[in-house]
Amino acid sequence: MNAPELLIHGQGLGVRRAGRDLLVDAELLLETGKIVTLIGPNGAGKTTLVRTILGLMKPDRGHLYRRPGLRIGYMPQKLHIDPSLPLSVKRFLTLGGTPRLPLDEVMALAGITHLCDARLQRLSGGETQRVLLARALLRDPDLLVLDEPVQGVDVRGQAELYELINTIRQRQGCGVLLVSHDLHLVMANTDTVVCLNQHICCQGRPEEVTIDPAYLELFGDNLAPQVALYTHNHDHHHDAHGNIVPEDPRSDA
């Protein structure tokens, strides 16, 4: 992978609305090929920081650098589709303009080729999240912003989605900003965890942040042991649907 290239750098960001500080002196650095996980409780200002990064909200203080011509792919928390709307996965992905990457290639990467003609309303939680991820990838983004990407997905599906996100950043070379309030599972592949509560409480590698006094003060000693650093054992293979392929009994142990 090439040397990281600066995509976004927010310094001293402050946002104040209706007499209340939503962000205070926040800093965020995003680079190509790097995964940054933004964590914090509800009301910590994660949405405000993301909206500022995306250019949807203007900060009252601080400086925000964005690389000229930066392409951002955004994956929202949820997809709300009218149950009566006969919308297939392929049709949904083709809405909104001409993609920069081939549709078939992106669907294969996201592991949803077999869902091409499926109705959106009939997808499982994990399948829906993969479709939303594929839609974000169609722009061939320099930066992927993933807002609660494993919401509504079971534990096994979460691990598979995290592994897929890591594969995407390695293959595409894009930067990733992953937003979450769920502290039960943190990717070992995350390069930096940023803990936010209106201001940056602490940041660093996952194993560093989870023992940081500021983190423990915010989330409590009782919650800290629940945070797991996910490591995937590559002692098996997945098919195009994400299922584990059984070993051939004739193969060597």
The enclosing H or E element of 64 equals strand 61-66
Determine, yes or no, domain membership for 120. Answer: no
**Residue 171's pLDDT band (cuts 50, 70, 90):** very high
Determine, yes or no, domain membership for 136. Answer: no
Average pLDDT for 28-36: 95
Determine, yes or no, domain membership for 112. Answer: no
Determine, yes or no, domain membership for 37. Answer: yes
Q: At what angle do helices 125-137 and 103-110 cross, to 10 degrees?
A: 140
- Is the Cβ–Cβ distance between 39 and 181 less than 8 Å? yes
Q: Which two tokens stand for residue 86?
A: 């006969």
pLDDT of residue 35: 94
Determine, yes or no, domain membership for 177. Answer: yes
**Residue 243's pLDDT band (cuts 50, 70, 90):** very low
Average pLDDT for 3-16: 94
CATH value at residue 205: 3.40.50.300
- Distance (Å, whole) CA 28 – CA 62: 12
Determine, yes or no, domain membership for 130. Answer: no
Range of the domain at 207: 1-70+142-147+165-230
- Distance (Å, whole) CA 85 – CA 76: 20
Residue type present at position 208 = E
The reply to whether the predicted model has a pTM over 0.85 is no
Determine, yes or no, domain membership for 207. Answer: yes
Number of domains in the chain: 1
- Distance (Å, whole) CA 4 – CA 99: 25
Determine, yes or no, domain membership for 109. Answer: no
- The string of pLDDT tens digits covering residues 199-220 is 999 999 888 888 888 888 877 6
